[in-house]
Structure formats: structure tokens, C-alpha cells
Structure 1
Amino acid sequence: MTNAAAHHDPWRMGFHIMPPTGWLNDPNGLCQLGGTYHVFFQYSPDWPAPHAPRGWGHFVSDDLTHWRAVGRDFAIAPDTPDEASGAYSGCAVPVEGGARLYYTGNVKEPGDFDYITAGRRATQILVEATADPTAPGGLALGEKDVLLRNADYPDFCTCHVRDPKVWHEDGAWWMILGARDLDDHGLALVLRSEDGVAWANAGTVRATEPLGYMWECPDRIELGGREWLSVCPQGMQDRPWANGIRDQAGYLPLPAGEKLGHAGELYLDPAGFCRWDCGFDFYAPQTFVDESGRTVLLAWMGLPDAGFESAPDGLGWCHCLTVPREVTAGADGALLQRPVSELEALRGARHELAGDGTLALAEHRADVLLPNVTGPVELALDGALRVACADGLVRLEFLDERVGAGRTVRKAACDGVSSLRILVDSSAVEVYVNDGRVVLSTRWFPRSPALTLEARGASPCLVWEMGDGMKGCYELV
């Protein structure tokens, strides 16, 4: 299939960001500037070519619903010696007149190395982005400035140090970096700066008991004066809840009154680790605070080391991001995720599916809401994917192995299901239980031309057909 044809296949997204062509993974550089939302992401436009270079792609939106791709090419290309093996993940910090983009440059030296303790360089790079209406996406990206190299990290670190998250607080700049130490324990490094350019080590965040061998994609979330550390620990496959998956994504609450930027040597209890998403496809979440004060999260609907497929034969692109989710804090300290309210603008024709019944829609784009669940409930999509809530569990189960492309079943504990919302978008499904207290996300690859919903025990079940917020944005390819 040609790249042009790939964007018109039945699995193309209508309200999930997917790459214009090629490969997508971690969301990067999330921010809102002058009313415009910017989503950068890990991008390989030449995928599936062997050794396709990895840099940043770029989308923009005025409403988190209708997106525009900023060209087919890299926004940030791995075009200097300090990022020869990839311009890896990072963040954005809004500043007057634009934003600062921080990211990791990865270099794997040729030779016989393990690339853990030797043979890898991890540089932290700054790009100043200036608001410019004549520039692609409204941002003119400046020169690259290397801020940190291997010698700048503590001597207990391996060569794995990456994924900066930067913020400004109490008159100082702060950075956290994901790291792996020489004992193969994951941790986060904390750094401080007066100007956001010259950085000094200021502490570490560790778990009181081992929590994976590497912490990727660290993030800081602050809500109501309390903080959480979001991390993606690698090496988690033996945990009883991990489904054999090596790489997980979750968050840890900080003790009341503690701050990442002032913690020094901070130890967190891994028993408090809570997964962001219990489905098949979720990793590398990143949050930002928009100009209205909301904390918004996007994540990669994929995994670094998955045992299932995300690009069936003939597809000219691979992976997508979740919809933007507003993050709020529950009274018990749990973080809740809800699709941003702007997505409701895509709702079209409304249907009601009461009790036991079946509904057919022309396209695989729907917003399904069960606002008042009072007992066991089951909803089947195309007879191929089943969402079932009963006996304190939510089950996401594939009934057709072709549609699941290797995915089977995921379960999440949920005592007392009261509401259920399911977003269906071509080849993505996101399930929100109890107003986002539990979330399960998955890719799927439907074979039928129309979407069939079959409900059991659902009363009422409201269904909206969803529009196409991505229409036209791939025509530039």
C-alpha cells in the first residue's frame, strides 16, 4: 500500500493523533501557546525502512479535537553528532514569546558495548521555539544547545539517563530525568537551575523497594498543592498484575507537603504505584497545564516491547496517541482521567440502546455512555471485542484474534461499577470506568465495514456517532 493510500484505509483515526506516515511513539513537548495546542511526538517518517531515524513530529490544534499535521518531515531531526541515534523524548516549557523544548539526544557508539554501562551517550538538548505566524505550526525553532552530557550525571548512573521534564517554580528551574543506576534500579534525577540553561544535580527520587531497572518518561503532576511522580518503570514483567509486559506506566503520590523540586533524597513507597491504564496499549504519558489551568494528559497507544501487532500487513503507518484526557485528583489521592470536554463537539446523531439490544452504525466512530450502571453489564463491539463489568472486575476481552492482532484479555479490579464510557475511533478503543478512576485502552483492527454494538444489562446506553476531527490533515503527505 502506498503512503497516500494508507491515510484513507478504514483504520485511519478520526480523533486520535496518528503519524502522517511511518511510525509514532511517545508524546513530547506538550503545551498551549497563545490559544494553540502543540503536540510533538517521537516520529520516524521513513518507517518501516530498516534503521529509520527517530526525531520529533508536530501537530497543532485550536480545540484539542481538530488537528493539523505540521508537514511530513521532522520538526526536530536527529541531525547533529549529539543525537546521531535519535532525537528522543522531552518536554516543553512555555516562556514569553514562545517555548523552550528540552529533549534527549541519543548516541550509540559503534563497537562491542553493552550500551548500559558503556557505548552510549545521553545528551540533554535545548531548543528555543519562538512564536512566528509565518513558521510551520506557528513556531520557529532555533539552534540546538547541549546542556548536559554523561559526565554531568552522578557517578552511580549507567549510560541510561533520558526524558527531561522541566518546570519553573519558586524562582528556580527544575528538571527530572529518568535513570538507571549501576545496581540496575530505576530512579529519577532531580536538577536545579537559575536560568534553565546551566544545571546542577539537586537530588534523587527512588523507591524504598526496587521498582524496575529503569524509569523512563518521568513527569511531575501538581494538583491542589499536592504532587505525584509519574514514571514508566522497565523490568516489571514478573509483577502479578503486569500480564507479562516488561514496561509499565503509573504514578506514585508524594507524601503531603513534599515537592519534587525540593526533595533532596526522596524515597517513595512502591506499594503506592498505580497504573494509569490497565489495557493493552498505553505508555509514555506526558501531562501539561493548559491556559485554562487544566492538567491534560496524552500517551502513546503502544508499548516498546509488545507481544502483539500494531501495524497489520499493508498499513503505511504505525501507532497513535490517546485522546487528550483531563486529570483530576480524587479525595483518596487517586488520579482520575476523563476525555477532555471538547471531544463532545464531535458528537453527531444520538441513539439510545436500552436493556438488551443491538445497534449498527455506518462507521467505527462512536461515543458510548452508560451513565447509571446498577449491576453486571456487557457490551460487545462487532462481536469481536467485549467489555464486561461484573463481580468487582472490568474485563476487556478479544473474541476474534484477527481483530485483536495478538491481544487477548485484560482485567482491572473495580469494586462497584457505576458508570462506563467507551470511545471507539476506527482502530482505537478507550474504556473509562467510574468517571475515569479505571481506564483500559487498546488498539483493534475491525474487519466489518460497520460498527455493531450489542448490549446486555445496560439501561440506558446512550450512543453518539462521532465526526472526523482529523479530516484533511493528512492530505499534505
Structure 2
Amino acid sequence: MESLPVRVGCLYAGDRTDEQIAAHEWCRAHTQAATPLSMETIVDQDLSAYDLLWWHRDEPVEASVASAASAGADTLRSYIENGGGMLLSLQALAAVTSVGIDPIEPDVTGYEQIDHPTGFAPKAVHSEHPIFEGFIDWFYTLPDREHHPVARYESIVPAHGQILGSAIHASDLLPGHKEIISWSIGDGSVYGVGARIEFADVTAGGYRIERDQFVRNLLTTLGGERRPALTDRPVTETELTRLRSALENDHQRPSYHLTPPANWINDPNGIIHYNGEYHVFYQYNPAGPFHGTIHWGHARSEDLCTWTDEPVALSPDPDGPDRDGCWSGCAVIDTDGTPTIIYTGGRGSEQLPCLATATDETLNSWEKDPENPIISSVPTEPEILGTADWSAEFRDHNVWREDGWWYHLIGAGLQDGGGVVLLYRGETLSEWEYVGPLLSGDYEVPHTVWECPEYLDLGEKDLLHISNYRDVRYVVGEIDLTAPAFTVENEGLLDYGSFYAPQSTTTPDERVLMWGWIKENRPVEAQWNAGWSGALSIPRELSIGSDGDLIQRPAREIADLREELLVARTDTLEAGDRQQLPLTGNAYEIGLTLSRSDSESVFELGCFESPALSEQTRIRWRDDDVVVDRSNATHDPAPETDAVRLPVDQNDELSLRIFIDGSILTVFANDRQCLTTRVYPTRSDADGVSVAVREGTMSIEASAWTLASSYDR
């Protein structure tokens, strides 16, 4: 095999092990030059003769080795900043702090025994990275072995590095085993591969071939001048746009729903209107499209239609109470006009409230309170649920000001079963006194936690909603902040589908708008391969009707997304009639007013239809429910395809507003009930739409618009 056109400085500390010697011999055989360099004397070395440096270490980084690395850190850093490349492999990755690369070291180091082949899965946004050249998908670099050296980020992520790939064990993806990392430092780059490239006693065959290809790619890229600029740690507008554009050809990805540029999103957080703009923060994992290592992502908009991606707003502090995640919370304007975030910080088995204040008008920079956590312990009455993960299930925050006091809701679980919403109050946002449980329930369900509680003043009535792992339940009634208590007069579900953990804000004209997390209904592997996971719902406007029930409508601003009116007609269809609507592209809104001849009539809207109808989703109105039939929605057997039911009032008229966007389907019925679900057509041309009557006679008044993207205008 032809030698690589790079000159490598092979770093080591102390005596070289058999593994290091084997790696250096491999390097000498595959490169133009490979020279051993002692870390103990690196401070005196002229490194300009090397295209890259490679530190391969199979043993732990002991204190003496870390000290040697620290002594040479300035020399190494200068070399990298001036355009050099550096590869840290196996347990050398644990020296990133000593070398001055990153303040956060891998949290898993040592050895592991694995009785099956292992390798790597590139992240979708980095699948075209040159270190993965020659690999179509996942690849395997090691057979089963007893003593694998390893260094990886598992429950944490590096402060500055980006994850390029994670581990695979046999046929299982382990996205949380983050083992391929890159850093950009000045004009240079550092790559870390914390496992699965070993050289001593590795048998020949496919594993060795793929290992050789991978290591050659690493060395050639680091030693060359064509290192990719794409980062999933974007800060500038150019970087943010480049990351979002990397996934733009996915026909299943939403275009007008709020999404992160890539990777993972879950709960909406800190929704606030400030200085003429809406700011939506959200739970975000920069490491990839899976749950974990939660940060706060950020997007802003002046009109709720066009959204601008912003840099990450909150990141875990390696020395703080949020080391393991900055979890859900809210944002308010303090009495002095300062935007303030109250969020859940996680560290070890503790999750406690933390506070951060904005330090600029763009809300891109936040300063955490040095006294965090602002509530240091959970209440003793009632007894809060403890689990294997948390000493107390005590999280998520809703804060508002009323009658000179700040009030604060926190979600929790009860040790004896059921969920509970706890009420606090304070004169400031950093000092709180416990008032008591505001509302509890689900006693028959053990290990239930009422997550993401939110209180909303809707005028004559109050609304409180909670998320209980399964549904988002709401109660309408009256709140008593003194007792405390909530008198329930009416209750129901906010959504009958994949809608969770909503949060709201009040507009300048006093309307209440709510966003929720739209979950995925497909396996983790599919989300990994797509490069993104989750979206936020379109904002919905909440109010109370004259009957005391909850009204839910799409926010009126969504109408500004309409591009072209393609359907505007009224028809009467008989049983067996079917009409094709001139809609394509799966980014549209449909309005329907239906009148049926009798309760036996059946209406059907077909969407996500392929030309031969081998893929199609049917929205069917029969009797007193609307059913989304996904049984033929996709040729892919992995996503969930069960039917989803939305109950509606039993009468002969029905009003529907339906929003289709990529893989999201949302139905608003009679301005009351909502259903949000996911559909994953395999074919990109599965975007046809039709109306049909299966039984009886139906009068159909229909209108339909294509909707513009929220990101490319």
C-alpha cells in the first residue's frame, strides 16, 4: 500500500508499551516518516518538521504522564494554532485537559471486555467528513477481545469539541458512547479516537483492513490542508446556516416547524417576548440526535414565522450543579428589566433549581448565579419520589409575578404513587419559600412524575397543565395561591398524539401562545441516520370558551406562512367518490368544513400518498372520532404505524385545520381538540393529497395553501 504523504511525530510518555510500539511500527510502514517523540522533552522540540503529531496510549494517563503533558502544553498548543494537526487515540484522549485542548476530560476511561465485534457509526452531519472516506455506513475495526483500552465521553460532552461518531457493538448503536471527537484550535485541528483502533495482536481480515483505512484517513486529513469547516458547535451565522443546510435534502424533515440546525431537540424552554422579538429556548443535545448531555438551544423571531438560529445559550458547567445537564425551565423579566432563566441543573443524583441572567440584549450570553442551586433541597412534605436515577424526582419550572410576589411551580413525583405540582413563592428570583403542594393525582400509578407544570391565567378561568410521561393533561378552574390549592372544574388532554412538555408565553396583545415538543415515533438508529430528532409544534393560541372549555387554535401568525392558495371549493360527494387535490411537497395547510347526511357517512382525507398509493396516510371521520390511519404510511417497518384517534363531538358537522410538514401531521378539530403525530413515508414522492367519501353523502368546503419554510426566506 502506498505510503501516506505525511510526516508524523509519534508521541509517547515513559516506557513504550507493546501496543505503542506496534502503532509506531504501523505508522512507519504507512507514512513518509514517523519519528518517536518523548512527551518529557517535547518542550524543547522544534515541531515544524512534522505535518501532525500522534499520541497513541493504551494505558491510563497517570499523574506523571499528565504532568509531562502539561509541561509541553504550550509547545503543543502553539504548534496546533499555527496549523498543525494532532491525533489522540485510546487513553491519550483522557489527556485533553493536560494538553490544553479542552477543560472537560472523558468521564469513562480504563478497559472493557467485549465479546462481539465493535466499530463506529459516523454522525449524519459528518458522514462526508474525509476521515470516513471509503465507508458507506457503520464500520467495524475490532473483533471481540478481552482487554479494550477506552476513553470516551458518556454522560458529558467536551466543552469545545464536536462529536463526529459514536460506538457500535455488534449490530447495536450506542450513541451515548461518544468516541470520535474533533477540535478546531487556531488554524489547526485535533482529532480524538478513544477506542477501537488497536495494533498489537490484532488478527488480519476485514477488521484490520477497516482499521487501516480509518487510521490512514485520520492521518492524511490531519496532515493535510483540507480539513472540513462544518461544525455542530456553530456560533456564527455562517456556521449555523452551514449546519442546517447539511440536512436540507431530507424529505421527512419539517420546514416550517421550529427545529434546531441539527441533532436533538425536546422540551421548549424559556419562551419570552423581549425587545420586540420572540425567543424560544429548547432542550438541545449538540452531541447528536439522541437524548443526553442537555444544553439550551436558542431561536428568535420577530413574527413567529421566520426563525433565526442562535448559538447555544446554556451549557453544563463542569464544576457546577448543572454538570450533567441544563434541563427544563422558564424565562421571565425581573423587576429591574433583566431577562432571567430558572432551570433544572443536574449533577450526579441531584436535580435542583438554578438561575442565570442575560448579559446582552440578544439573549445569547448568560451568567449563572454563583449561589446555584437557588433551592438547595427538596421539601419533606409530601415525601418526594426517589428513583435509581435521581435521589428526588424534582424538576422543571414555571415562574410568574402576581401581587408583588414571584410564584414558582416545580414538578415532582410522590413516593407513595402519583404526581404532584409544588408551589414556592419569593420576593426575589433567587430566594424561595415552600408553600406546599398545589395539585396532585394519578395515585394509582407508581413512579409517576408530573413534569413541566405550567399555570396560565386565561381571564375568567385558570388553567394548569402537566406532562405525566404519557400525555399532557390540563385542568381548568381556579387557583388558590394561599392554601395552596387548585379547584378543578374541567379537564382533558391538550393533544391526543406525540405532543409533550408544552410551554407558553403571552404576546404583546395579551394572547397566550403555546409550543410543545413533537416526539419521534421511529427508533434511535433511524434518528441517528437522519442526523436530527424532534421538532416543536406550531404555536397554538389558548383561550376559554363560553362553555368553560378550552379553545385551541393555530396562532393567527401562521397564516402569514401561506404562499399560494391551491384549493378553494365546495363539493358534494357520494359514496365511492374520490378527488385528487393539487398539493405536493408535504408543507401545506388544509381547512375543511364537513357536513354529512347522517351519522353513517364516512369522510376520508388521503395524504402522504405515493403515485401508486403503496404509501398513504388516511385521516378518517366516522361517528364521533377522527382517526389517523397509518397502517400503509411507509414501506419502512421500523416507525410506529398504529392508528391514532381524536375524539370529537357527536354531530353532523366538523371543522378541521390540518397541517402537514415533512413527517409531522397536526389536526385541529372544532377549535377544541388537537392531535399531533408522525408519518415517515419512505418515498420522496409520497406527497399526494385526495378527498373521498366511503359511505353516505358529504358536503365538503375545502381550502388549502402551500406554506413557506421558516428558515430559508
| TM-score computed with the length of structure 1 as normaliser | 0.84
Question: Percent same amino acid among aligned pairs?
Answer: 29
Within 5 Å, give how 1:417-428 maps onto structure 2.
Answer: 417-428=653-664
Matched, 1:12 2:262: no
Within 5 Å, give how 1:193-208 maps onto structure 2.
Answer: 193-207=426-440
User: Offset of 1:208 from its aligned partner?
Assistant: 5.9
C-alpha distance in 2 between matches for 1:371 and 1:101: 43
Within 5 Å, give how 1:83-122 maps onto structure 2.
Answer: 83-95=322-334, 96-108=336-348, 120-122=349-351
Q: Residues 633 and 679 of structure 2 are in contact (CA less than 8 Å); yes or no, is this contact kept in structure 1?
A: no
Q: Residues 367 and 424 of structure 1 are in contact (CA less than 8 Å); yes or no, is this contact kept in structure 2?
A: yes
C-alpha distance in 2 between matches for 1:263 and 1:81: 35
2:593 to 363, 367, 371: 371
Partner of 2:608: 382
Partner of 2:687: 451
User: Offset of 1:450 from its aligned partner?
Assistant: 5.7
1:149-171 Cα offsets, whole Å, 9 max, x none, are 22556462230110010000011
1:356-400 Cα offsets, whole Å, 9 max, x none, are 410243411111001354454210103421111121111111032
Aligned residues: 433
One-letter code of the match for 1:194?
E
1:290 to 507, 518, 521: 507
Where in structure 1 are there 5+ consecutive unaligned residues? Answer: 109-119, 235-246, 473-477
User: Offset of 1:261 from its aligned partner?
Assistant: 2.7
Compared CA separation, residues 439 and 266, structure 1 to 2 (3 A)? closer
One-letter code of the match for 2:438?
V
2:534 to 319, 322, 329: 319
Greater helix share, 1 or 2?
A: 2
Higher relative contact order (CA 8 A, sep 6+): 1
Within 5 Å, give how 1:16-415 maps onto structure 2.
Answer: 16-48=257-289, 52-71=292-311, 74-79=312-317, 80-95=319-334, 96-108=336-348, 120-132=349-361, 137-144=362-369, 145-151=372-378, 154=381, 156-158=383-385, 159-207=392-440, 210=443, 212=445, 213-234=448-469, 247-254=470-477, 258-266=478-486, 268=488, 272-279=490-497, 281-302=498-519, 311-312=526-527, 314-352=529-567, 354=571, 355=573, 356-374=578-596, 376-383=602-609, 384-402=616-634, 405-415=639-649
One-letter code of the match for 2:347?
V
Q: Residues 360 and 450 of structure 1 are in contact (CA less than 8 Å); yes or no, is this contact kept in structure 2?
A: no
C-alpha distance in 1 between matches for 2:403 and 2:525: 43
Compared CA separation, residues 105 and 312, structure 1 to 2 (3 A)? closer
Compared CA separation, residues 378 and 263, structure 1 to 2 (3 A)? farther
Q: Residues 33 and 98 of structure 1 are in contact (CA less than 8 Å); yes or no, is this contact kept in structure 2?
A: no
Compared CA separation, residues 107 and 2, structure 1 to 2 (3 A)? same
1:257-298 Cα offsets, whole Å, 9 max, x none, are x325334255758xx54110012x111011111221110000
Q: Residues 584 and 689 of structure 2 are in contact (CA less than 8 Å); yes or no, is this contact kept in structure 1?
A: no
Q: Secondary structure at the match of 1:343?
A: helix
C-alpha distance in 2 between matches for 1:130 and 1:153: 36
User: Offset of 1:336 from its aligned partner?
Assistant: 1.7
Q: Residues 208 and 268 of structure 1 are in contact (CA less than 8 Å); yes or no, is this contact kept in structure 2?
A: no
Q: Secondary structure at the match of 1:448?
A: coil
C-alpha distance in 2 between matches for 1:331 and 1:388: 29
Compared CA separation, residues 46 and 349, structure 1 to 2 (3 A)? same
Where in structure 2 are there 5+ consecutive unaligned residues? Answer: 1-123, 127-242, 386-391, 610-615, 694-698
Compared CA separation, residues 138 and 190, structure 1 to 2 (3 A)? closer
| TM-score computed with the length of structure 2 as normaliser | 0.57
Return the index of the structure with the highest Cα Rg: 2
Q: Secondary structure at the match of 1:332?
A: coil
User: Offset of 1:210 from its aligned partner?
Assistant: 2.1
Greater strand share, 1 or 2?
A: 1
User: Offset of 1:185 from its aligned partner?
Assistant: 2.1
1:316-346 Cα offsets, whole Å, 9 max, x none, are 1101010011111122322221111111111
1:89-131 Cα offsets, whole Å, 9 max, x none, are 00111235341111101223xxxxxxxxxxx212101111245
Q: Residues 130 and 140 of structure 1 are in contact (CA less than 8 Å); yes or no, is this contact kept in structure 2?
A: yes
Q: Secondary structure at the match of 2:313?
A: coil
Partner of 2:111: none
Q: Residues 589 and 659 of structure 2 are in contact (CA less than 8 Å); yes or no, is this contact kept in structure 1?
A: yes
Compared CA separation, residues 261 and 389, structure 1 to 2 (3 A)? same
Q: Residues 377 and 390 of structure 1 are in contact (CA less than 8 Å); yes or no, is this contact kept in structure 2?
A: yes
